[in-house]
């Protein structure tokens, strides 16, 4: 059966048919119902009445949900000014529905629409609605956009242009990849044409589960002046983003996603004296020369990608900004502003230290992030019933790997001393 209403209708039909059969059998035999038949007939009658009540309640709930959805859709689609939006915008409607779900234990799913959805320009990035397979415990699907936005802002790998694959199930996903190309050559007249078949392999993406529990007092929920929905979405997004973002850079590929550093190849290694810095700007082969050489180590097709970029933590980029000539002229800012590819801050790229790979550069669309069914955001009043608190949990199942490990992403490594 496709819906709960269909299931009720089918069971009601079965019960009604059995009740009719009992009565028709007695009529055919010109007798009254036996004690057993009378008890069964009464049981079936009560069962049919209870199913009729459930059907009517379901119909009323569906009508209310349809009305709420239509109102939210009309509100989201209508042009409003900032004052109107502050008074009666979709955030207010979402917060009211959120409180209803907690205080009234309303199990109905809620659909909300973001009036200013985030514009994702990254190649392959795809946003899907949350799964509603368990509507009794699901929170508004509008949370999905907020949680993913925070997650993307936390994980620079995704913001830089990683290809995001959203799947509906979590079994291993094999992504085919080409490891060698066919090649052509001049062939003289009458000579055999040599074979040059491409070679293929595959990368398997699994589904590691990241989760967080957040406990909120019901007093906060009852406070109309507090944006509970926005607060929880931001907290969940940051928590999941930090956990997943760290593994997208440093994961070992066995108990966590295969991080970029597992397959990135060496681009440039700093000379002696650059163990914790980029050396002296006025010396050839040091300073911004190292970073230009890192970008120059990439094959031309990778540099033409719209997802080409640099990743480094903020302290590393600050060291680049502070690069000066021997005369004290600051050149680091000009270098970053005129960089051949954008720079992204990622706190999980290693810090500058001996042998550390502190800067990554390349085509980030060659790194694939697999997400299963988006983000699950659920609540329970029973878990912390004795403290009058509501517990929320956010869960994401994800994996990642560099699909093209032939030099799509390269790193700068500091010297040992």
Q: Does residue 261 belong to any structural domain of this protein?
A: yes
Q: Residue 301 in 3-state DSSP?
A: helix
116: tokens are: 């200013």
Per the structure, how many domains does the chain have? 2
Q: Do 33 and 110 belong to one domain? A: no
The neighbour count for residue 214, using CB atoms within 10 Å, is: 16
Question: By residue range, what is the domain housing residue 103?
Answer: 79-178+210-417
- CA dist 330 and 138 (Å) reads 54
Q: Do 131 and 32 belong to one domain? A: no
- CA dist 358 and 208 (Å) reads 26
Q: Does residue 184 belong to any structural domain of this protein?
A: no
Task: Indicate the residue among 63, 78, 93 that finishes a domain.
Answer: 78
Q: Residue 238 in 3-state DSSP?
A: helix
Cα 356 to Cα 270, 276, 364: the distances in Å are 10, 9, 20
Kindly report, residue by residue over 196-207, the tens digit of the pLDDT: 887 878 889 999
Q: In what order do the strands lie in the sheet with 389-402?
A: 163-167, 367-380, 389-402, 208-217
Q: Do 384 and 401 belong to one domain? A: yes
- CA dist 129 and 139 (Å) reads 12
pLDDT of 209 higher than 90? yes
- CA dist 243 and 333 (Å) reads 31
Confidence (pLDDT) at 67: 59
- CA dist 22 and 34 (Å) reads 10
Q: Do 382 and 282 belong to one domain? A: yes
Cα 100 to Cα 94, 105, 108: the distances in Å are 10, 7, 10
Torsional sign, CA 142, 143, 148, 154: positive
Q: Do 60 and 87 belong to one domain? A: no
Cα 90 to Cα 72, 97, 153, 233, 375: the distances in Å are 7, 10, 23, 15, 21
Q: What is the dihedral of CA 30, 36, 39, 43, to 10 degrees?
A: -100
In this prediction, residue 83 has a pLDDT band, given cuts at 50, 70 and 90, of very low
Q: Do 102 and 53 belong to one domain? A: no
Q: Do 377 and 239 belong to one domain? A: yes
Kindly report, residue by residue over 236-284, the tens digit of the pLDDT: 888 898 999 999 999 999 999 999 999 999 999 999 999 999 999 989 9
- CA dist 101 and 134 (Å) reads 14
Task: Indicate the residue among 78, 99, 126 that finishes a domain.
Answer: 78
The neighbour count for residue 147, using CB atoms within 10 Å, is: 27
239: tokens are: 């928590």
Q: Do 222 and 307 belong to one domain? A: yes
Q: Does residue 200 belong to any structural domain of this protein?
A: no
Report the DSSP pairing between strands 389-402 and 208-217: antiparallel
Among residues 367, 352, 131, 121, which one has the least CA distance to residue 244?
A: 367
Lowest mean pLDDT among 152-161, 189-198, 348-357: 152-161
86: tokens are: 């502050």
Q: What is the mean pLDDT of residues 363-384?
A: 88
- CA dist 94 and 81 (Å) reads 18
Length of the chain: 417
Axis crossing angle, helix 90-103 with helix 228-250, rounded to the nearest 10: 90
Q: Does residue 44 belong to any structural domain of this protein?
A: yes
Share of the chain above pLDDT 70, in %: 75
Q: Does residue 311 belong to any structural domain of this protein?
A: yes
Kindly report, residue by residue over 112-147, the tens digit of the pLDDT: 444 444 333 444 444 433 333 434 343 444 455 556
Task: Indicate the residue among 78, 102, 120 that finishes a domain.
Answer: 78
Cβ within 8 Å of residue 32, ≥6 positions away: 26
Q: Do 62 and 97 belong to one domain? A: no
Kindly report, residue by residue over 29-56, the tens digit of the pLDDT: 888 888 888 888 888 888 888 888 877 7
Confidence (pLDDT) at 251: 96
Q: Does residue 193 belong to any structural domain of this protein?
A: no
Per the model's pLDDT, the better-predicted residue between 26 and 115 turns out to be 26
Q: Does residue 100 belong to any structural domain of this protein?
A: yes
222: tokens are: 């009852």
Report the DSSP pairing between strands 367-380 and 199-205: unpaired
Q: Are 157 and 249 in contact (CB under 8 A)?
A: yes
Q: CATH no. for residue 285?
A: 3.90.1690
Q: Do 173 and 98 belong to one domain? A: yes
């Amino acid at each position: 059966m496709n819906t709960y209403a269909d299931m009720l209708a089918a069971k009601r039909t079965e019960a009604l048919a059995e009740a009719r059969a009992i009565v028709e059998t007695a009529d055919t035999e010109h007798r009254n119902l036996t004690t057993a038949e009378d008890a069964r007939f009464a049981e079936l009658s009560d069962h049919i009445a209870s199913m009729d009540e459930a059907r009517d309640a379901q119909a009323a709930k569906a009508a209310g949900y349809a009305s709420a959805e239509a109102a939210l859709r009309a509100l989201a689609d209508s042009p409003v000014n900032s004052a109107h939006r502050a008074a009666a915008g979709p955030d207010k409607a979402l917060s009211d529905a959120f409180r209803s779900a907690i205080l009234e234990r309303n199990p109905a799913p809620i659909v909300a629409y973001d009036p200013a959805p985030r514009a994702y320009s990254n190649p392959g990035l795809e946003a899907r609605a949350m799964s509603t397979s368990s509507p009794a415990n699901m929170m508004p699907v509008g949370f999905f956009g907020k949680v993913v936005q925070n997650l993307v802002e936390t994980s620079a790998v995704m913001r830089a242009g990683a290809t995001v694959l959203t799947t509906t199930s979590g079994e291993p996903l094999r992504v085919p990849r080409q490891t060698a190309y066919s090649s052509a050559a001049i062939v003289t007249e009458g000579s055999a044409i040599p074979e040059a078949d491409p070679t293929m392999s595959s990368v398997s993406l699994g589904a590691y589960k990241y989760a967080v529990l957040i406990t909120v007092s019901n007093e906060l929920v009852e406070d109309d002046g507090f944006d509970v929905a926005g607060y929880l979405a931001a907290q969940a997004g940051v928590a999941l983003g930090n956990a997943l973002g760290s593994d997208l850079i440093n994961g070992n590929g066995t108990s966590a996603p295969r991080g970029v550093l597992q397959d990135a190849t060496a681009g440039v290694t700093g000379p002696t004296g650059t163990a914790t810095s980029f050396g002296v700007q006025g010396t050839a082969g040091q300073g911004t020369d190292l970073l230009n050489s890192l970008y120059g180590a990439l094959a031309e097709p990778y540099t033409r990608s719209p997802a080409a970029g640099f990743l480094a933590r903020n302290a590393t980029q600050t060291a680049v900004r502070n690069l000066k000539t021997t005369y004290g002229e600051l050149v680091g800012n000009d270098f970053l502003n005129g960089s051949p590819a954008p720079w992204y801050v990622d706190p999980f790229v290693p810090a500058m230290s001996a042998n550390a790979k502190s800067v990554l550069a390349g085509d980030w669309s060659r790194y694939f992030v697999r997400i299963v069914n988006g983000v699950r955001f659920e609540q329970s009043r029973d878990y912390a019933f004795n403290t009058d608190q509501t517990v929320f949990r956010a869960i994401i199942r994800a994996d990642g790997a560099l699909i093209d490990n032939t030099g799509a992403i390269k790193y700068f490594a500091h010297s040992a001393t």
